[in-house]
Structure 1
Amino acid sequence: MRQEKPNMLTFPNAKINIGLNITEKRPDGFHNIESVFYPIPLCDALEALPSHTLTFSQSGMEIAGNKESNLVFRAFELIRPRIKDQMLAKVHLHKVIPMGAGLGGGSADGAFALKLFNSIFQLNLSQKEMEEMAAELGSDCPFFIANKPVFCYDRGIKFKPIELELEGWYIVLVNPNIHISTAEAYAAITPKIAPHNLLESIKRPVEEWKGLIQNDFEEALREKYPILGKIKETLYTKGATYSAMTGSGSTVYGLFREKIAAESLFPDFSTWQFPLPQ
């Protein structure tokens, strides 16, 4: 039987949070959360080739910090002990998903890197094994292994599959070019029990989400960054059925039934628009 050729190029995609409740601070310093993660078709590009030397290059949006702190590099270091013949890799990341934007771009890069290395080095790691390794990279990373809609709970590494179909909707993403770190976002948070059950609310029609599903980070950050509220208000004015900030910010998204002129509405910001699903 002919062996299938391994993938050497992959496209790590972003995600949005539909609802994000910060319910309590844990003894280990992390927070317990409740959220729905939904993959969207805004993507980086990641290429890896087996090599006798380890090289990491990057293009597109600039990434702060050294390569050793990049989740793609850290993913290779995690998987390196499993690679036979001491082979290394030549890796290139083209960055499109903005950082500090609540879109999970760095987490996606790390998780997709694990899947890519698993393929090119033919390691035959199971989904569960890769999810466990991804959890070592960061809280959001395990989601991107299966990359399907889930209800996320605990500190962000436990998932429950859900049925959520948004086919036929358009998503508009607006990033005001503000970088909000996770630490900054959590500093403004007072954990509390959510007023509505997110698992029950997500089953309702999108038309009913506005009064039921909220992002606790958005509420806390709007005072410091009023532009977040203005973007959301504009999206609703232009016909969004539901709008919210994703993750710890600063991207705000809107769900629409029809395509809109998003770029002309927000000429000074980064905007993207896609039909769902990809």
Structure 2
Amino acid sequence: MPNTLTMPAPAKLNRFLHITGRRPDGYHELQTLFQMLDWSDQLTFTPTSQPGLLFHCSDPALETDDNLVARAYRLICEQVDQELPVSIHLQKFLPMGGGLGGGSSDAASTLLGLNQLFNLNLDQPTLERLGRTLGADVPVFVRGQTAWAEGIGDKLTPIALDELWHIIVHPNVHVSTATLFSHPELTRDTPVSTIQPELAIHGHNDFEPLVRRLYPQIDQAFECCQDYGNARLTGTGACLFMTMPDQASAENVRHSIQDRLPDANVYAVRGRNLSPAHQHLSAGRA
């Protein structure tokens, strides 16, 4: 067993997000296209001498028993019927509450990392099943591929997209996902589509009109970004993104938008079809 294992926990984009209905249990049916990003939180796993979890985070406010990392740890311990002796340090780089899936990705990388570090030999379907109990976005990070998603976002079909660069704008406002899903003005009847990679360019996000009405800072960011391209919301926000043809264009636009939106955080990030977490695990096995 290695002394430590360091794992990335990458962000994702919803290249489009259509809400196609509402189930009797209150969950929403949707279609979306998840793309992995080359931009991650970082988790470090260190075996300890005593059973149990020691959890630390660069943001002390996240050091709670309800954190998705701690919950993922407890789930995998229940699955293997042992209390794994480990210290986990979470270094946060991704904006929280931005629609980038940071918490879900942290949970997935915890499942993947513990499975690797302790040679638990749990297969992918088992890890995906565990992840699904933590959140609808966790399975796509466990699988680690750009994917077309349906159901509540957990029915996944792998798909390859061009690994283009994206501008991501975080307006530094917190969006309440629960408020949006329960809002009477949310569109819930977008027609169901067949798998179409071109929706990554031509699709839309059903949350966007509502989010722009409820959050003036996000609307302001959209108004600014429309001068540079077709901006779109990821997830329920607050982040929006634009696709760029290359890194140089992305960096130029990033600087320009940052100058115009000094209270926002603006990033240039490349899309990936294979999760950096899975690339890291594969390199470790080589």
TM-score range, shorter chain: 0.7 to 0.9
Residue number among 166, 174, 183 corresponding to 1:171 in the alignment: 166
| Structure number with higher relative contact order (C-alpha < 8 Å, ≥ 6 residues apart) | 2
Q: Deviations over 1:245-276 (max 9, x none)?
A: 10011001111222222432322111111234
Partners in 1 of 2:98 and 2:60 — Cα distance?
Answer: 14
CA RMSD of aligned residues (A): 2.3
- Residue 243 of structure 2 aligns with an amino acid whose one-letter code is L
Aligned to 1:237: 227
- Kindly indicate whether residue 31 of structure 2 is the aligned counterpart of residue 41 of structure 1: no
What secondary structure, in the 3-state scheme, does the structure 2 residue paired with 1:101 have?
A: coil
Q: More displaced, 30-39 or 48-57?
A: 48-57
Aligned to 1:218: 208
Partners in 1 of 2:83 and 2:142 — Cα distance?
Answer: 25
Residue number among 263, 266, 274 corresponding to 1:271 in the alignment: 266
Q: More displaced, 13-22 or 74-83?
A: 74-83
Aligned to 2:280: none
How far 1:62 moved relative to its partner? 5.5
Cα contact 2:166–2:270 (8 A) shared by 1: yes
- Kindly indicate whether residue 28 of structure 2 is the aligned counterpart of residue 31 of structure 1: yes
For normalisation by structure 1, the TM-score amounts to: 0.86
Work out the number of aligned pairs and report it.
263
Cα contact 1:175–1:251 (8 A) shared by 2: yes
Unmatched 5+ stretches in structure 1? none
What secondary structure, in the 3-state scheme, does the structure 2 residue paired with 1:132 have?
A: helix
Aligned to 1:10: 7
Q: Deviations over 1:49-81 (max 9, x none)?
A: 12214211110x4645x6111110001101113
Aligned to 2:56: 57
Q: More displaced, 109-118 or 267-276?
A: 267-276
Partners in 2 of 1:195 and 1:134 — Cα distance?
Answer: 28
What secondary structure, in the 3-state scheme, does the structure 1 residue paired with 2:219 have?
A: helix
How far 1:182 moved relative to its partner? 1.6
Residue number among 74, 78, 85 corresponding to 1:77 in the alignment: 74
Cα contact 2:9–2:106 (8 A) shared by 1: yes
Partners in 2 of 1:173 and 1:183 — Cα distance?
Answer: 23
Cα contact 1:34–1:198 (8 A) shared by 2: no
Identity among equivalent positions (%) equals 30
